[in-house]
Amino acid sequence: MTENNLTFLIRGSIFKVFNALGPGLYESAYESILAYELRKKQLKVAQQVPLPLVYEQVAMDVGYRIDLVVENRIIIEVKSVENLLEVHHKQLLTYLKLSGIKLGLLVNFNTDDITKGIFRKVNGL
C-alpha cells in the first residue's frame, strides 16, 4: 500500500473520530480512539513511540515520544489546541528527520472544521 493510500485511510479515520466526538477533548483521547479506528482497518499502529535523540554518537535520554506511527511509514502528531503554532509544524518535521520516516500528518482536533486541521508534512531526507 502506498503512502497516499495509507493517508486516505488515515484521513477517513480522522473524520470519523472528529464527527463522533467533536472538538474539546484531550489529545490523549483523540490519539487512543484514532489508533483504535486505524487498527480496525487492519493497520499496524504504534502509540507513544520513543524517539531516540543521538548527538555526536551519544544517545540522549530526553524522552521524546511520537504520538502514532502507522505501518512504520507515517507519523501522526495529534494536537487539541486553540491554534496550531509554527513550532507544532516544526516539531513534526523534526520527528520525521530524526526517525527517518518520510511522511507525517499534524492533526488539530480542536477546530470547527477538521479539514482545516490536518497538515501533511514530507521529510526532505
pLDDT of 125 over the 80 cut? no
Please give the pLDDT value at position 105: 98
Lowest mean pLDDT: which of 5-9, 13-17, 52-56, 102-106? Answer: 52-56
pLDDT of 61 over the 90 cut? no
Domain, as residue range, for 63? 3-122
CATH of the domain at 43: 3.40.1350
Please give the pLDDT value at position 17: 98
Tell me which residue has cell 472544521: 113
Q: What is the SS3 assignment for 44?
A: coil
Please give the pLDDT value at position 55: 85
Mean pLDDT for all residues in the chain: 94
pLDDT band, very low/low/confident/very high, at 62 (cuts 50, 70, 90): confident
Q: Cβ-count burial of 30 within 10 angstroms (0-12 exposed, 13-18 middle, 19+ buried)? A: buried
Q: What digits encode the pLDDT tens for the residues 86-100?
A: 999 999 999 999 899
- Do the bridges between strand 58-70 and strand 74-79 make them parallel or antiparallel, or are there none, so unpaired? antiparallel
pLDDT of 10 over the 70 cut? yes
Q: What is the SS3 assignment for 12?
A: helix
- Overall number of domains in the chain: 1
Can you tell me the distance from the alpha carbon of 1 to that of 12, in angstroms, rounded to the nearest whole number?
Answer: 16
